[in-house]
Structures are given as C-alpha cells and as structure tokens.
Chains A and B, each alone.
Chain A
Amino acid sequence: MTIAFREETFRDDFTFRNSGAGVLRFPFPFHEDRYTYTVNLEPHTAGAAGTAYEHLIDIDEHYLAEMQDRALVLAEDSLRCQALPHMISAQWDALELLMEQQALGYPELFTLTKHGDRWRWINRPMGIDQTFTFGDVSTLPYEPMEYIARQAQGDLCIVDQRDGSLWMDAGIVTSQADWSLDFDIGMNFMEWHASVPLAHEAGVFDRALKFLLNLQQGKPVRRLNWAMTINPRLDTSPENYPKWGPDRTTVTPMNVGEKVYLRVELQSLWRLPRSNAILFVIRCYPINMADIATVPQWARRVRLVLASLPQQIIHYKCLVRFRQTTIDWLAQFDDGAPG
C-alpha cells in the first residue's frame, strides 16, 4: 500500500484536510451518548486494515506535513524538546522502538538494518539514509529522541519510573492540547495531572498510576483522549496562546463545519526495555465538524456528548465560547436514529 502524502499546512492558511479515506480511518473516541471520564486503557494490539490501529505506530497522509510543522515549531522554540541527562538510555530505547515499528508497518517507506551497534536507517518519504552507531550520540545530527521524533508523527513523552511514581523527564511536544513540556518537565504523574477536574475525586489517577507502574514489556496499552480546537492547528501550546486563543471567538453558525475541530489523541504507552522507562506516544488526529457530519452517527454522538459535559470540563477543555454554536449546528444532521 502506498500513501499519498498531502501538501498542507497547520498554520496561517490552514490547508490541512482529511481525504475521504482519511475520515473513515479516524479513531472516533466516544462510546456512549454522554460524557464519561474513565481510565479507558486497553491493550495496544494491531487492528483492522484501514483503521488508525492497523499498525502499532501509525503513519498517515499527513506525515510529511506534520514533520514540516514540527520542524517549524522547534526552530522557533527549542524548549519544546527536552531530556534530563539520566534519560539518555530511554532516548535510545525510544529511537529503536519507533524505527522498528515504522519499518515493520511500512517496509516500503522505512528500512532499518542492524549490524551489532552499527545501524542504517532509511526514510524514503523524507529522503534520509543515515548510518549511525547505536549508543553513540555523536553519530546522529540530534540526540536520539529528537532525531526520531522529527521522523515520527505524534508527540513523545518519556517518563522515568522511581520512588513509586512516574516522572516527566524527557519529551518532544509540538502538537499538544494546551500543555507545556517546559512547564511540566521533572514533574511526577500526580503533579502533571493535578489540573484535571473531577477525575482525582473518582480515583482515576490512583488506579491509572498503579496500572502503569506494572506496565509490562511487550504489552503496550493505549487510550484515547480528546480536545477541540479552532482551525487545524497542531501547536496549541500555552507558549503560543496569543496566536490561537483569540481564534475561539471567531466561530459563527456559518463556519462551524470548517473551523471547529475535534482532535483525538491516540496515546500508546510502551515499557522500554533498556531503561525501564515508559514511552507515551501521543498521536493527534484532527477532524472538522463537516467531516464528522459525513457519518450521521458521529454527528449525533458528538452533539450529545458536548451537551452532557459537566461545567468543570467545559471550562477545563476551554469550550465555553463555541460549544453551544457547535451543538446547534450538529443538530441538523440528527436523523433521530439512536447511534
């Protein structure tokens, strides 16, 4: 299978679009007609062809455009990529995992050859042919996590495990839903989740942490998270808030379909072998309401979920300005049939 990579932007003129096939492989996140917050972790196993789960690390039609956008973000702000010194072994683990999974899933696009510690990596879409020594940083143009993240879709966070918690000690984050790696670096699991409303009271984070501390090699897990943004902007960071915050005031009944985006994060979590750290791959899938409306069950369900959100979540997810307009617009696609 070959992928037709789209030429598109995630800023300025916002030419990002999903193709028809791209819409159909969208990982739709809602399993009920109302909002619930659950741990929702499940085994990350390969799924059906034509879905975002077909390969454990997913490459899609937006690959090249996303890599260009990441390069722009990093050029403007080098603090989007940080790794504390003790994470170097985990960085190499992450590089190996992503190279192996991309080569396994897409042999026509990527090839990894190993002769002992001497490795050769070929990335055909990006025109890269790199020979390097595994474990020797001086043989790559960047540190290993940054090197592979510039060739892999999705943000990466690598958390160290010690003292009964997980610590955000490395990451490269350029397509985030309003959180900052530079702010969170070095925090533990409870600290970086402290701002999430309601879930703490429900014990969600205690259970999730306990589960993740025992995450096993060879048994990755995944969960879906979601947010909404205006325009297909990947970099909705606190650092750049002045660039995108005001967009939320621009939604009208006339432009909801094109402007309001549901963005789903497919988070896959992997125990890394050499470092015992955990890699979070946070892959972002944006889809606008017009594309959601092409599947009537989706339009109905998004509307019902938005309508059932608790106030704290509406504020936490920053939906105040455009939630009702979106609900009203989606109502026209409701055929009355239950999902």
Chain B
Amino acid sequence: MSISTDMPMRVAEITQVADRVKRFRLERRDGGTLPYFSGGAHVVVTMRDAGGLRRNAYSLMSAPHESSAYAISVLHVEKSRGGSQFMHEQVDLGTELTVSQPVNLFPVDQRGRRHLFLAGGIGITPFMAMLEQLERGGQDFELHYAIRGRSHGAYWRELQGKFGGRVNVYCDAEKVFIPVAKLLDDQPLGTHLYVCGPTGMIDATLTMARHAGWPQQNLHFERFLGPPAGNAFRVILQRSGMDVAVEGRQSILEAVEAAGVDAPFLCRGGACGQCATAVLGLDGALEHNDHYLSDAEKVSNSKLMICVSRFKGRALVLDL
C-alpha cells in the first residue's frame, strides 16, 4: 500500500538569479504550512504538460526552519530532457505543481566539529539550506564556491552578505580557482567535507581528500545526475502484464509512471536504491547509469535502477 503525502503547491514567485538560473518560491495551495526539513534535502516536483507526467528532484535551498514556502533553483540545461526547460519556459506565477515531502540523502553529519563546503555552479543549492541550519545552531562552517562568471553564479552576493568572510567566491572568468589541496591540508580533526558540483570537481576533490588522509566517513558528496537520454526501447512489466514503450528522452521510471504503474522512488538520480527493480528476463545489454549498485551487481544483470539506467537489445522483462 502506498500513501500519497505529496503536497499541492503553487508558484508564488519566480526570480531570474543568474544568466540561466531561476529561483522558484513554492507555497501550498491551501495556504497551510510546510514540513520542516534538514539541510541537504530535496523534493520531487511533479509537472504536468502536454507530454504527460514529468518528475524532477530539486534541492531545497530555503531555510529549513521556514515553513511558509520552499525555494528551489533550476538551471536551464541546453540539452535538457525537458524538466528544466519546462520549469524555465512553461512555469509562470500561479502554476500549480505537486511537490513531495522532503527527502534527505545528503545530510550534514551532526557530529562534525567543523563543516567545509565546496560548491561548483548550481551545486550551491543544497548548501544554502545547510548553511542556514548550521548558522542557527551556532556551528562552525566555511564555504568555497566556484562560479563561471560573476553573472553566472547564483547567490554569491546573497551568501557573502549573510555569512561574510565564511563565504569565499572563486570566478573562472577571473582565473581564480578553489585552492582545494591547500584547504584539505589545513583542517582540524573532526572536519567534515561536503562537495557538490560537476562530476569532475567531485571526483577530483574526493581523490585529493583520500590522498590527504581524510577518513571516508568525513567525505560527503551529491551528484546531480539526471536520467541520461538514449535510444527508445520497450520493457515488459511482468506483474502488471504490460508492454511499455520508453522514449529516448524518457527514463524507464517515467515511462512506467506514464503507463499508470506505481513504482517506488526517492531520489530519481541513481543514488538511493529505492527503485531497484529485479530483471526477470533479458535479451540484450543493460546500461547501468547509477551510483548505487556494486560492480558485481551490475554485471550480474539481476537488478536495474529504473530512474537512470537504460537498455539496448531485443527484450527486457522487469518485476513490476
């Protein structure tokens, strides 16, 4: 049995905060209050357009103790599969959206004596809520925020205004970069590192941190992995007795939802494991795009994370 706790909401404010970034303020349609959340949480926004149902996960960037509205930021991606394009081009003041309860897969480690944040571009959004939370709790933190140019980076002025010298901004256009190695080398014991941004930045930072002797438990990261596009194919849903077409710009999860089948999910980004689905039959090759399954699980062809992974071949049968 699944109980829907999704919230009917309305767009109350749209702000163009940088060249390709819009901030959306979302309020409940019934004027009620929203659940509190913890910094790093995301919500899944359900959009309805001519193409059907669309669901995207966005980090909450408003203060976690603010219950009158949520704020999310959306980067307009050129080769978008449609979600960010829809939010930028179709959504207006008053547009009605459905928003899930907050889910946190990127929480602050409350034991940290000090919290070091490295953000690249739109990766700043979860940190905005985390910093508010830490500030309210009187906890020690420092942010290093890399942006392409002063007009690209969302929020750098706002953050410097609020948190002063604890916010350091680095601008590619000015040839100033985050001195990652020096930062990692110069932290007291008990510091936790959080990194969010492009894959290259995350991988490089984690590698450097491990070489610098950081414990694995003190390293936290969130990858913004949207479902990649690919070829169109069909899947057979054994339990539902359905044969569903998955379009090139659609994920399996989206196609399954569009067909009216209720599949579990939380992150829609290949990280949480909630949508792991048993593969009952396969004639072809699975394309695993997630960060959840182990390499051994991936080659075993027994499970598929249907939010991001795809398939090439003649037949795929799933336990749905």
Contacts and interface: CB of A to CB of B under 8 A. Distances in A.
Interface of A: 43, 45, 86-87, 89, 135, 160-163, 210, 214, 216-219, 273-276
Contact of A218 (B38, B101, B104): B101
B245 to A, nearest CB: 29
Pick the 5 closest A-B CB pairs, nearest first: A86-B110, A218-B5, A273-B36, A276-B38, A217-B101
B110 A45 contact: no
Say whether chain B's binding surface is mostly helix, strand, loop, or mixed.
Answer: loop
Contacts of B110: 86-87, 89, 160, 275
B67 to A, nearest CB: 10
Given A218-B101, A219-B101, A274 B109 contact: no
A274 B3 contact: no
A273 B107 contact: no
B234 interface: no
17 contacts: A86-B111, A87-B110, A89-B110, A162-B107, A162-B217, A210-B273, A214-B272, A214-B274, A216-B266, A217-B35, A218-B101, A273-B102, A274-B36, A274-B38, A274-B133, A276-B38, A276-B41
A46 B111 CA distance: 35
Contact of B37 (A43, A160, A217): A217
Given A43-B3, A214-B273, A214-B274, A89 B137 contact: yes
A216 B107 contact: no
A269 to B, nearest CB: 15
B64 A162 contact: no
A219 B3 contact: yes
Nearest to A42: B1
A33 to B, nearest CB: 25
Contacts of B35: 217-218, 273
A216 B272 CA distance: 12
Contact of A217 (B3, B65, B102, B109): B102
A45 B64 CA distance: 26
Contacts of B136: 135
Nearest to B5: A218
A219 B274 contact: no
Interface residues of B, number: 26
B244 interface: no
A210 B5 CA distance: 21
Contacts of B273: 210, 214
B103 A274 contact: no
Contact of A216 (B1, B36, B101): B101
Nearest to B112: A86
B130 to A, nearest CB: 11
A230 B110 CA distance: 41
Query: Residue among A89, A161, A219, A276 with the most chain B CB within 10 A?
Result: A276
Nearest to A217: B101
Contacts of A162: 107, 109, 111, 217
A288 B142 CA distance: 59
A217 B41 CA distance: 11
Nearest to A210: B273
Query: Residue among A89, A163, A219, A274 with the most chain B CB within 10 A?
Result: A274
A214 B38 contact: no
A175 to B, nearest CB: 28
Contact of B1 (A43, A210, A273): A43
Contacts of B1: 43
Contacts of B137: 89
Contacts of A216: 5, 101, 103, 266
A86 B272 CA distance: 24
A301 B95 CA distance: 56
Interface in B229-276: 266, 272-274
Interface in B101-135: 101-104, 107, 109-111, 133
A321 B253 CA distance: 55
A160 B104 CA distance: 13
Nearest to B220: A162
Interface in B1-55: 1, 3, 5, 35-38, 41
Contacts of B36: 273-274
Contact of A274 (B65, B272, B274): B65
Nearest to A162: B109
Contact of B217 (A135, A161, A163, A218): A163
A162 B217 CA distance: 9
A75 to B, nearest CB: 30
Interface in B70-89: none
Given A210-B273, A214-B266, A275 B5 contact: no
A113 to B, nearest CB: 15
A162 B105 CA distance: 10
Query: Residue among A86, A161, A214 with the most chain B CB within 10 A?
Result: A214
Contacts of B266: 214, 216
A106 to B, nearest CB: 22
A86 B139 CA distance: 11
A256 B104 CA distance: 50
Given A45-B3, A217-B103, A276-B104, 20 more contacts: A43-B1, A86-B111, A87-B110, A160-B110, A161-B107, A162-B107, A162-B109, A162-B217, A214-B272, A216-B5, A216-B266, A217-B5, A217-B37, A218-B5, A219-B3, A219-B5, A273-B37, A274-B64, A274-B65, A275-B110
